[in-house]
């Protein structure tokens, strides 16, 4: 007999207004120009990012748990956790010692994981102000390259291998900060997923930067114990085949290629190759965030995405620079995956 349940343990929603109470709220990301530092707002972590929403009102991204949540500050990092997931966010102001400052911020975040006991980082968002602009130090790379180098060094220092890296987004922000937020988990069953259409980002050749970006194309946190849903975090995905940008200057084809990349990533064939018994399509995604570089492309991208995505997907379209100058769009997603013996009601 199928067990009927209403809600997954971890939920992502895009809403017009922030929640009015902290009940079950792990974190709230607001879109705009990111002038405010992270805070505890009504008891939940509130993190403005310098990535404006294309909807005039501006929506917020809410990560919610079905469990009891405890929140707090760790230095300047704001966090909340529920026993399964830890949400944490913070930002650093760009300064002359950018690499060292970034490393320190990441190390403080790892300290919090150690202290609260969430050993696996499942998903990280890195919003890097002026991502394709000049690096802080006299290095032969842009800001993104400098960021990747700092991140790679911290991961190495922490002993993270390619089996431990998170799904990620690395995107431009419209301010002079690097804002980081992430979800870490106590689950020991985290599967890193790669995409057969792309080489692993951590193997990108040196032409893209001195250290390759350390992230997996997706992570899958298996359902375990009493949790009835697995969680699938899809990294920021772009119009990249192998390691090359394709369809330079062509927003329609970049958008279609990006969606095809995600479709292949979540396909039954690819998931089964990673030992996951699930088969998904673009219609199954709960939440999709679409980063668009040029405001004049928003309508084109929206049309292509809404035709490809299903009615259950919540989608926000935001404006951001992508980490390579020749990329015009990047798409990420999240979905909870019900165990096969679970029947869901919406």
Residues forming contacts to ligand 3EB in the complex (CB under 6 A) are: 126, 168-170, 201, 213, 215, 235-236, 238, 240, 323
User: Which helix H or strand E contains 98, and what residues bound it?
Assistant: helix 98-116
Residue from 279, 330, 332, 343 carrying the catalytic annotation = 330
- Taking every pair of C-alpha atoms in the chain, what is the biggest distance, in angstroms? 64
Q: Is the Cβ of residue 102 or residue 169 nearer to ligand 3EB in the bound state?
A: 169
Least separation in angstroms between residue 346's CB and ligand 3EB is 29
Contact (CB, 8 A) for 143 and 136: yes
Closest to 22 in 3D by CA, of 112, 87, 91, 101: 87
Q: Is the Cβ of residue 87 or residue 233 nearer to ligand 3EB in the bound state?
A: 233
Least separation in angstroms between residue 300's CB and ligand 3EB is 20
Q: Is the Cβ of residue 227 or residue 237 nearer to ligand 3EB in the bound state?
A: 237
Catalytic site residue 61? no
> Which pair of structure tokens corresponds to residue 92?
């650093």
Least separation in angstroms between residue 199's CB and ligand 3EB is 10
Residue with nearest beta carbon to ligand 3EB: 170
Q: Is the Cβ of residue 7 or residue 246 nearer to ligand 3EB in the bound state?
A: 246
Only one residue has tokens 């194309």, namely: 217
Sequence-ordered list of residues with C-beta below 8 angstroms from that of 341, at least 6 positions apart, any chain: 2, 3
Q: Is the Cβ of residue 276 or residue 323 nearer to ligand 3EB in the bound state?
A: 323
Spatial separation of the C-alpha atoms in residues 195 and 73, rounded to whole Å: 36
Least separation in angstroms between residue 43's CB and ligand 3EB is 30
Least separation in angstroms between residue 68's CB and ligand 3EB is 31
> Which pair of structure tokens corresponds to residue 46?
């509130």
Spatial separation of the C-alpha atoms in residues 55 and 305, rounded to whole Å: 16
The three-state secondary structure class of 265 is: helix
> Which pair of structure tokens corresponds to residue 68?
């009891």
Convert 251-269 to b/e letters by CB count within 10 Å (16 or more is b).
beebbbbbbbbbbebbbee
Least separation in angstroms between residue 198's CB and ligand 3EB is 7
Contact (CB, 8 A) for 149 and 211: yes
Q: Is the Cβ of residue 251 or residue 323 nearer to ligand 3EB in the bound state?
A: 323
Q: Is the Cβ of residue 154 or residue 240 nearer to ligand 3EB in the bound state?
A: 240
Spatial separation of the C-alpha atoms in residues 92 and 233, rounded to whole Å: 25
Spatial separation of the C-alpha atoms in residues 91 and 87, rounded to whole Å: 14
Closest to 168 in 3D by CA, of 268, 101, 235, 81: 235
CA angle 304, 237, 331 (to 5 degrees): 45
Active-site residues, by number, are 330
């Amino acid at each position: 007999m199928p067990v009927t349940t209403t809600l997954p343990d971890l939920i992502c929603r895009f809403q017009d207004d922030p929640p009015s109470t902290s009940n079950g709220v792990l974190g709230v990301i607001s879109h705009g120009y990111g002038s405010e530092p992270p805070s505890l707002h009504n008891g939940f972590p509130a993190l403005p990012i310098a990535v404006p929403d294309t909807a005039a009102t501006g929506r917020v991204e809410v990560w919610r748990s079905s469990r009891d949540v405890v929140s707090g500050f760790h230095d300047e990092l704001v966090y909340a956790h529920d026993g399964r997931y830890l949400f944490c966010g913070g930002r650093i102001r760009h300064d002359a010692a950018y690499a060292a400052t970034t490393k320190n911020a990441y190390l403080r975040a790892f300290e919090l994981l150690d202290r609260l006991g969430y050993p696996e980082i499942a998903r990280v968002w890195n919003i890097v102000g002026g991502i394709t602009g000049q690096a802080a130090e006299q290095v032969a790379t842009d800001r993104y390259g400098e960021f990747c180098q700092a991140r790679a060094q911290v991961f190495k220092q922490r002993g993270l291998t390619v089996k431990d890296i998170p799904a990620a987004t690395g995107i431009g922000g419209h301010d002079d900060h690097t804002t980081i937020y992430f979800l870490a988990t106590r689950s020991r069953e985290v599967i890193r997923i790669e995409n057969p259409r792309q080489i692993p980002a951590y193997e990108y050749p040196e032409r893209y930067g001195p250290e390759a970006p350390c992230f997996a194309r997706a992570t899958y946190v298996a359902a375990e114990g009493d949790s009835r849903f697995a969680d699938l975090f899809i990294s920021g995905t772009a119009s990249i085949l192998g390691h090359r940008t394709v369809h330079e200057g062509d927003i329609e084809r970049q958008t279609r290629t990006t969606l095809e990349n995600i479709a292949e990533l979540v396909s039954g064939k690819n998931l089964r190759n990673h030992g996951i018994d699930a088969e998904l399509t673009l219609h199954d995604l709960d939440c999709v965030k679409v980063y668009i570089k040029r405001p004049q492309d928003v309508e084109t991208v929206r049309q292509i995405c809404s035709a490809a995505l299903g009615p259950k997907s919540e989608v926000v379209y935001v404006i951001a620079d992508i980490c390579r100058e020749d990329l015009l769009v990047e798409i990420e997603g999240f979905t909870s995956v019900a165990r096969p013996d679970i029947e869901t009601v919406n």
